[in-house]
A and B are shown apart, each in its own frame.
Chain A
Amino acid sequence: MQTYLRQASQMQALSFTVHIPLVCFGIALPAIIAFMEWRFLRTGDELYRTLARRWTRLMAALFAVGVITGTILSFEMGMLWPGFMSRFGGVFGLGFAIEGFSFFMEAIFIGIYVYGWKRLKPRTHLLCAVPIILAGFTGSLMVISVNAWMQHPSGFKLVHGRAVDVHPLAALFGNSFLWNELIHMYLAGYIVTGFVLAAPYAIAMLRGRRGRYERTALAVPLAIAAIVSPIQVLVGDWVARDVATEQPTKLAAIEGLAHTTRGASEHLLGWYENGQVKFGIAIPKLLSLLAFHSFNAKVQGLDAVPASQRPPINITRISFQLMVMIGTALAVLGVWFLFMRYRRKRLPDTRWFYMAVAAAGPLSLVALIAGWIVTEVGRQPWVVYKVMTTTQAVTDARSVPVGYAALAIAYVLVAIGVVWVLRRLSAAPLDELDGAPAGTPATAGA
């Protein structure tokens, strides 16, 4: 029987690509807003409250879109991958079930926070941000525990195609892969939110609007992103070393390493073809050093597994290079910002710096998606690494292409809508932001 594996994979990828940037704002924006509100409570300076309120509106709108795209994802788990769910739902499902509670907390307290400006006592209101921040963390922890389990499955035995002897807690949380994926993703959330939020204010500065309002709105998210970006490089290196030991084939795909080699060299740029990287810059022995901390360590190549068990090389490899290049550039930008802060005790004043910050917003998003492509495409052809292939997981339903097309159209409309509403929100006069959140037109019923 014909299945629509390709379309199903692409539909899944599309849905994630839409969900994951929104998630970053769910992770980091509440903390940034709470910081602003706390500054306001400490200093009584209205400027901070104005910014906090503006960003609350942004958070409310993005959260709503995060909810719907996440709902689609949970539908798709069963709609597209019934084989996967039927066999392993009992093993990893717990992660999602706990995640559900964390969504509850997030949704409840975002509701209170968004509607509670001016309607709750200031301190109560600020306290309501705490569960949102915590839930952003536990939510990511739970989903990523599922993803990490797919990368590095354990906690069950397979007998006659059924999972038996199931230990969900060990499967989800006793997994070395979880911690590096989680930290890397969580930091990515702060990087993306920081740079994306700073970008419009950098553009405003370039256009000559350099009042204290713009400077504050720029400095807070930018400082966060600038601090986290260099740290992310270290964490990324840690992630890569874990991939090297646990998923050697993925590492070989990332590096375009055809044959198992001692003292393998690292290739920058280039294109993988016929067992080698063409037009790349080779740095001898660097790969062995990076992956195993030794110049002559043996690195497993693609030839260790049959061709049918290798992921698409170029997609994985190019996405990885893109992420690392952008990550490095963001780290350099961050270090520059910190250096200027330390040396000159002020914001940088060169045009190129603000142009770089404006570019860093979209670039950090590219790095985010690219990183997930490395993780997910590099896992192919397995849905559960070395246990179940995507062919075994995919649905037999013939409706996949139609569903894919419908969802793609819907998401294009969603994207247009989001851009439209964000522009409207940023143009709304400040005095109308009296705590009436998403959904209540600023002047309704007045």
Chain B
Amino acid sequence: MKAKVLECLKKHFGIEKINFEIEVKGKGRVYAFKSCELEIEGHRGIYIGTLEKDGFRPSIDGSFLIGPLAKKNVVEVGDEDAVRWMSGSNIPSHVTGYVILKWRDFFIGCGRGNGRTIRNFVPKDRRISVTAKY
């Protein structure tokens, strides 16, 4: 499973090497962490995305880690689209497949393009109100 994630990162985002460790848990949920010199039982890592049937779909926090390393399939958006995106709306685009969205100097998650729009995957608890400013 871990090899599959690395393969997806390479094939889809052009990433040869990552600077953190990954662990795949149930339902293909992928977590990133760095090793610890102290062996102690406890929760480790942050959720960085899900291994889907058609590829790896990074989460918002995963896009912050993967985005700076990605060489392709990164789509830049402006202030208005960033607000629409973070409020849970799809945004128009001609791209297809999984793409990481970049707004200014930050990464705001991943969507799946179908040639007309990019489908939004921002979870409800990370959305902002549509009336919020960028």
Task: Tell whether A pairs with B.
Answer: no
- Which of A's residues lie within 8 Å of B, judged by CB? none
- Which of B's residues lie within 8 Å of A, judged by CB? none
